[in-house]
Structure 1
Amino acid sequence: MSDVQPPRRARRRGTRAGVAAAAGLLLAACGVGADPVVNPELSDDDVTITMNWWGADARTQQTLAAIELFEQEHPTIHVEPTYSDWTGYWDRMATTTAAGDMPDVSQFDQLYLASYAERGALLDLSTVTNILDTSALGANVLDSGRVGDDLYAVPTGATSNGIIINTSLFEQYGVELPDTETWTWDDFERTSVELTEASGGEVHGVSPFGYDSFSLTVWARQHGGSVFDADGDLTLTPELLASYWQRELDFVESEAAPSVAHLSEVSGLPLDQTDLVTGKTAMAFIPAGQFTAYQSAAPDFDYDLAPWPADSDAPEGFQYLKPSMYWAAASTSEHPAEAALLIDFLTNDTRVAPLFGLDRGEPGNPAFRAALEGQLDESGEESLAFTEAMSDEVGDTPPITPNGASDIEILLTRYNQQVLFGESSPREAADAFLGELGDSITAAG
């Protein structure tokens, strides 16, 4: 974290754990606005709107700078910022939304988009097209902000999933990487084991997946399946989920990955304390948009990005561009025109591009990408180049997480722990996970 403190006007409210409990609050009650005014007009008077986001201090400083620029451009509109870490963010969001006090503009994640939209908490952005221009965003990007046929959120950008490689460690221990453009899962595991053995166990080859929905979705698509369909139904098979967790167990058994006890100890640590940053593992599965954050957190190491390993029968287009995050407005906002104007500014004003860089993913607006030319450091250029190269290989973006499934990563983490500690077999855990998640989706419907 930077030593620079946020200006006084940025209120950092207390956070607390309990995203699942917070989601329950949203299920119980939800502040819903009246039917929105179509094409609302900007007020002639001074207006104050609230804006909410999650992230580390660097993102806070970037966002405050963008707010200042917006207020200079629109001196009668004042933006009151609030922010927190990821866990506290959704806890507070559920509470304020249930009370009818959702912030006017919020940073959103696809895990929660359908849940809030289907409860009427988000503004239908088709009602503010007189102010909000989304024409610069391609359909494949913009459509990821739709729930049903209606647009409720504007994506900030998108990222693919990749393998981050600490090339410094491979050089230090004299282990040669295979061709990462064509490597198979056997190549990947063999190389990981070689790194572990060459270091005498001081370093392990890989931090495995097992608990995040992004990597699970890529795994499912690589093996001919999916997690959800366009109707919001759960399509992931227990066999496919079990194979995902079995691959993780294989990594541990071969010592390509650290021990179960160690993986449990480091679960949930902040990025700057992860094994990849501290040099205890050499590879990991990450959203490519996080590459610059890892490189910044470990400046003494050199990192590279590579595609996922794949076997010969993997279908084309199994990778996809996941929306990094979104901007959304509250249906309860008393100032929908001003909220839409702020989202339009953050989406289209190219002066925002160098402020945000790639912090919110590769920009969805091509003009933002052009504005970043010459503005990025080496790791930023590499991250952008990787995502753009992967754009030629990705398939259609899968449906967003449906209403009732927002806790998918909480459930994945819980059942993944059971698998790692031998409390359940991969198949037993898969059956239980899918049953619990399916029940949640059904109840929400």
Structure 2
Amino acid sequence: MFTTKRALTGIALGAAAALALTACAGGAAEPAATFDPEEEVTLTFTWWGNDDRAARYEALIEEFNKQYPNITINGQFTDFPSYWEKRQTEAAGGGLPDVWQFSDSYLRQYGEPGYVLDLGTVKDYIDFSTFDEALLGTGQLGGTQYSLPTGYSAWANFVNDDLITANNLTPPEGGTTFDEFSSWMAEVTESTSGAVYGGTDVTQRIQTFELALRADGKNLYTEDGELGFTEDELKEFWESGQELRDGITVPQSRLEEITPKSGFGAGLTATETSWSNFLGGYLADSGASSISLIAPPTAKEGSKDLYRQAGLQMAISAKTEHPEAAAVFLDFVVNSPEAGEIFGTTLGFPASTSKLEGAVLEGADKQVADYLTSVEDRIGEAPPVPVVGYGALEQKFWDLGKALGLGAVTVDDAVKQFFDEANVVLQG
């Protein structure tokens, strides 16, 4: 845990665009209490991520305290799975952090029961006019704004250029078919005798399955909050990864030994697919001097299977004792030029115009920006708001994918377990 506070005098509050929120949040929120800019306030703040992200947040909090010395921020972070386990416990006990890194995957789960604050109640302290309507919509339910995105990303394929050069490998092409990419991974693993694997089993990730579904005009879930695929479709998808698990990709047993690092972060694989904003973290974890971003493989050439994912968001606990101060801090995280300068694209390409103004798009940040431009023709409409419990289902999918890699379950068993879990979650 770290605590940052600066004993500076004076404070300035930026006025918010209240009308913009009224349009996007239904205008039904009660007005916030008057905010005393000189009151000594302590807020809890938490996020998931690695040491690189923690260092950036610490720097941001220091900048925040130059303007708001009376607001002390107590910050904590953990890995993604542990993060949501703890939030679930806190929600049940009424003890969520004042401000917390959020995800649209959990929007229904935390928004519908009222665990997160309706940002319309603090509209005088947050500028909503800096976001376009599509990005605002990623944090809305029923016209109510529960969270705001820090940025947006697209699914990408990361390539460790150092490993490619050191092993005299031919780099992969972007946007190939899955079969072509699997063949490339096999060549890498064979040519290095397993010293470097071509990649990780891409069928472990629900996002890869999502790409395959979207190529056929489907989604993981429907507008009505149901699954958008069948057991047979999931079975076919997981069966397609058997060849990868039989020696092409890095063994799951090796990955278990290096957790929480990924195979790519540990230098075991030449490639890994993930969200484009992971570039900064991958550079920090892997120590690579150069990492390329290329388009991920596709199930159908010419399809609009990619989309702008604004899943990383910021929210406020509905039970915070300091909603106005929490809103001031949330606004600083999502809107300030300082946040743009400190985070660049590591929380996604800046979602707000004011944050983008502070971002210096060079090096890794320019790479991410260039990548997003390069795949614009492949970007389709965003999927529906995730179903209640989507975060748990995403984790279940990943856990079952790893179990398949360890040989602990069969494909049939994995499919049954996933749908049994989905039935419980969706009916819950």
Deviation at residue 120 of structure 1 after TM alignment:
0.9
Distance 1:180 1:56 in 2: 27
Distance 1:370 1:385, change over 3 A: farther
Q: Number of paired residues? A: 405
Match of 2:206 in 1: 213
Q: Does 1:80 align with 2:74?
A: yes
Superposition deviation, residue 405 in structure 1: 3.4
Measure the CA separation in 2 of the matches of 1:192 and 1:88: 31
Q: 1:369 aligns with which of 356, 375, 395?
A: 356
What is the match of residue 20 of structure 1? Answer: none
Matched, 1:235 2:222: no
What residue in structure 1 maps to residue 45 of structure 2? 51
Report how far residue 318 of structure 1 moved: 0.6
* Alpha-carbon distance in 2 for matches of 1:178, 1:54: 31
**Aligned counterparts of 1:45 and 1:178: Cα–Cα separation in 2:** 56
Per-residue deviation, 1:231: 2.1
Report the more deviating stretch, 63-72 or 226-235: 63-72
Distance 1:309 1:130 in 2: 45
Correspondence for 2:160:
166
Q: Secondary structure at the match of 2:314?
A: strand
Counterpart position of 2:339: 352
State how far apart, in whole Å, the 1-side matches of 2:254 and 2:163 are. Answer: 22
**Aligned pairs (5 A) from 1:287-366:** 287-300=275-288, 302-311=290-299, 313-314=300-301, 316-366=303-353
Distance 2:96 2:273 in 1: 34
Contact map agreement 2:3 2:74 (CA 8 A) in 1? no
Does the Cα contact within 8 Å between 1:213 and 1:408 map onto a contact in 2? no
TM-score, normalised relative to structure 1: 0.82
Q: CA deviation at 1:121?
A: 0.7
Secondary structure at the counterpart of residue 378 of structure 2: coil
1:180–1:89 CA distance, 2 compared to 1 (3 A): closer
Structure 1 residues 361-400: aligned runs within 5 Å? 361-373=348-360, 376=362, 378-400=363-385
Which residue is 2:182 aligned to? 189
User: Alignment RMSD, CA only?
Assistant: 2.7
Q: Sequence identity of aligned pairs in percent?
A: 23
Q: Which amino acid aligns with 1:316?
A: S
Identify which of 58, 61, 72 aligns with 1:64.
58
CA distance in structure 1 between the aligned counterparts of 2:341 and 2:315, rounded to whole angstroms = 22
Q: Please, which moves more after superposition, 194-203 or 71-80?
A: 71-80
- TM-score normalised to the size of structure 2? 0.85
Mapped contact 1:111–1:406 kept (Cα < 8 A)? yes
Q: Residues of 2 paired with 1:148 and 1:40: CA distance?
A: 24
CA distance in 1, matches of 2:336, 2:100: 18
The residue aligned with 1:408 is 393
Look up the equivalent residue of 2:279 and give its one-letter code.
F
Q: Distance in 2 between matches of 1:139 and 1:309?
A: 30
Name the SS of the counterpart of 1:103 in structure 2. coil
- Does 2:145 match 1:151? yes
Q: What secondary structure is seen at the aligned counterpart in 2 of 1:180?
A: coil
SS at match of 2:45: strand
Alpha-carbon distance in structure 2 between the residues aligned to 1:280 and 1:52: 30
Per-residue CA shift, 1:21-50, capped at 9, x if unaligned?
xxxxxxxxxxxxxx9742432125514132
8 Å CA contact retained: 1:144, 1:399? no
Counterpart of 2:389, as a letter, is G
Residue 24 of structure 1 corresponds to none
- Are residues 84 and 264 of structure 1, via their aligned partners in 2, closer, same or farther at CA, if it must alter by over 3 Å? same
Q: Is the 8 A contact 2:52 2:284 kept in 1?
A: no
SS at match of 2:31: coil
CA distance in 1, matches of 2:51, 2:168: 37
List per-residue Cα deviations over 1:274-320 (Å, max 9, x = no partner). Answer: 32234332122111111222123233453211112225x44632111
Work out which of the residue numbers 89, 98, 118 in structure 2 matches 1:124: 118
Letter in 2 for 1:97: A
Alignment CA distance shift 1:42-1:120 (3 Å): same
- The answer to whether the 8 A contact 1:167-1:303 is kept is yes
Q: Which amino acid aligns with 2:372?
A: T
8 Å contact 1:67–1:79 — kept in the other structure?
Answer: yes
Q: C-alpha separation between the residues in 1 aligned to 2:283 and 2:297? A: 22
**Contact 2:4–2:65, Cα closer than 8 Å, also in 1:** no
Report the Cα distance in structure 2 between the residues aligned to 1:54 and 1:44, rounded to whole angstroms: 29
Change (3 A) 1:44 1:138: closer
AA partner of residue 105 (structure 1): V
2:55 partner amino acid: Q
Q: CA deviation digits over 1:119-157, x for unaligned, max 9?
A: 111111122222211121122222111123321000101
Is the Cα–Cα contact under 8 Å of residues 243 and 426 in structure 1 kept in the other structure?
Answer: no
Letter in 1 for 2:275: P
> Separation in 1 of the partners of 2:171 and 2:69?
55
SS at match of 1:137: coil
Given the alignment, which residue of 278, 284, 291 partners 2:272? 284
When residues 221 and 391 of structure 1 are mapped into structure 2, their CA distance, relative to the original with a 3 A threshold, is same
Q: How has the CA–CA distance of structure 1 residues 364 and 269 changed in structure 2, closer, same or farther, with 3 Å as cutoff?
A: farther
User: Are 1:46 and 1:78, in contact at CA under 8 Å, matched by a contact in 2?
Assistant: no
Superposed displacement of residue 427, structure 1: 4.6
Contact 2:100 2:316 in 1 (8 A): yes
Amino acid at match of 1:297: D
Structure 1 SS opposite 2:46: strand
2:342–2:359 Cα contact (<8 Å) kept? no
Distance in structure 2 (CA, Å) of the matches to 1:227 and 1:279: 31
Deviates more, 1:97-106 or 1:227-236: 97-106
Q: 1:231 to 1:126 in 2, by over 3 A?
A: farther
Tell me by how many angstroms 1:107 deviates: 0.9
The structure-2 alpha-carbon separation of the partners of 1:292 and 1:68, relative to structure 1 and needing over 3 Å to count, comes to closer
Structure 1 unmatched ranges of 5 or more: 1-5, 11-34
